[in-house]
Copies of this chain bind each other. A is one copy, B any other.
Amino acid sequence: MPSYALLVEYDGTGLVGWQRQPNGLSVQQVIEEAASHLNAGVAPLATASGRTDAGVHAEGQVVQLAVSAELPPVRLRAALDFHTRPHRIAIRGAAFAAEGWSPRFSAVQRHYRYRVLNRAAKPALEEGRVWHVPLPLDAGAMHAAAQLLLGRHDFSAYRAASCQAESPLRTLERLDVVRVGEEVQILASARSFLHHQVRNLVGTLHEVGLRRRPVEWPRAVLDGRDRRAGGQTAPPQGLTFLRVDFPEPPEWS
A residues with a Cβ closer than 8 A to B are: 9-11, 57, 59, 77-78, 81, 85, 88-93, 119-125, 127, 240
Chain A binding surface, main DSSP class: mixed
A119–B253 alpha-carbon span in the complex (Å): 12
Contacts of A120 in B (CB 8 A): 77-78, 81
A11-B127, A88-B127 given; A122·B81 CB < 8 A: yes
Contacts of A125 in B (CB 8 A): 9-11, 57, 59, 88, 90, 240
A85–B121 contact, CB under 8 A? Answer: no
Top 7 closest A-B pairs, CB basis?
A90-B124, A90-B121, A9-B124, A88-B124, A92-B121, A81-B121, A11-B125
Contacts of A11 in B (CB 8 A): 124-125, 127
A198–B127 alpha-carbon span in the complex (Å): 26
Contacts of A78 in B (CB 8 A): 120
* Closest residue of B by beta carbon distance from A80: B121
* Closest residue of B by beta carbon distance from A127: B88
The CB with the most chain B CB atoms within 10 A, among A9, A90, A127, is that of A90
A252 CB to nearest chain B CB (Å):
10
* Closest residue of B by beta carbon distance from A10: B124
- 15 residue pairs from A and B, CB less than 8 Å apart: A9-B124, A9-B125, A11-B124, A11-B127, A59-B125, A77-B120, A78-B120, A81-B120, A81-B121, A88-B125, A88-B127, A90-B122, A90-B124, A92-B121, A125-B240
Contacts of A119 in B (CB 8 A): 92
